[in-house]
């Protein structure tokens, strides 16, 4: 069945460092791809999405490009902030929304 595999954490970075969180997917169809974020004490919220191959989703300085040839949707940010500390979930939507296991990011000042 459809599934998502994302980079295991936790990830700890210093402020202004470059961030990459890897995500690959397996799907029989043409899913939409998402990154959701869960800040401490809050519910999951959508960070960005891409609905077809070669689309780039972006929000709050984060970007991810839907790569059909490598079945990937890696999350990147050029300069992280302490406020980016959260758990990040990669997800795909085909018959239903399926999530990866999550990657905890801690950014230190």
Q: Which two tokens stand for residue 86?
A: 């959260």
Write the binding mask 27 to 46 for other proteins: x where contact by CB under 8 A, - elsewhere. --x-xx---x-----xxxxx
Number of residues that bind other proteins (CB under 8 A): 23
CB of 64 to other proteins, least distance (A): 15
Least Cα distance to 83 among 43, 39, 22 occurs for: 39
71 by Cβ neighbours in 10 Å (0-12 / 13-18 / 19+) ranks as middle
Contact stretch for other proteins (CB under 8 A) within 11-19, 55-63, 73-81, 87-95? 87-95
């Amino acid at each position: 069945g459809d599934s998502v595999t994302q980079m295991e954490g936790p990830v700890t970075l210093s402020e202004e460092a470059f961030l990459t969180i890897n995500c690959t997917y397996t799907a029989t169809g043409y899913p939409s791809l998402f990154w959701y974020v869960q800040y401490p004490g809050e519910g999951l919220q959508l960070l960005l999405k891409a609905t077809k191959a070669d689309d780039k989703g972006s929000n709050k300085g984060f970007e991810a490009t839907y790569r059909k040839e490598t079945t990937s949707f890696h999350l990147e940010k050029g300069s992280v902030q302490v406020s980016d500390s959260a758990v990040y979930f990669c997800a795909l939507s085909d018959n239903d929304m399926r999530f990866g296991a999550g990657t905890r990011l801690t950014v230190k000042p």
